[in-house]
Structure 1
Amino acid sequence: MASRGIEEIRDWVLARNKHRDALGPDEELIASRLVDSLSFVELVYTIEAAADVEIDFETIDIRDFQTISAIEKAFFA
């Protein structure tokens, strides 16, 4: 079962994509444009708040943000 924090991230993505009612753990967020370049920074801030971490924009690895599973592994494990 996913953590409360990762559910917050899933809810954030779905709230910005009203045409969707579900989001699989390995579904591509960026490639499918569920998260676009304009909302990416907001996603980072949402992850920081939900995971209580600080993400350095200088060292971001985009692979950590590609799927809900990747986000969970990188920031909630």
Structure 2
Amino acid sequence: MSYEQALNALLAIDGVEESTMMKTPCLRYKGSFLAMMFEKEDALIIKVSPERVNELVSRGVGGEFNFTKKRFKEWVLTP
């Protein structure tokens, strides 16, 4: 699935809308951050539970997001 296809599928869900965060386009669900592309790493950032972040990182399918040298415990980078 391409990014554009995923974007369109998510925008079809009630409560999901396009917005910005850190001057970057993102998706929000009922006003809360959901996901955005992180061009610097060519990755998608998604917000999930801290447990899910740890699981994805330990399985090697995601990476920690440390944009400000501080780990965002609910954000995971997915290539």
TM-score (norm 2): 0.26
Rg bigger for which structure? Answer: 2
The structure with the largest strand share of the pair is: 2
Q: Which of 1 and 2 has higher RCO (CA within 8 Å, sep 6+)?
A: 1
The structure with the largest helix share of the pair is: 1
TM-score (norm 1): 0.26
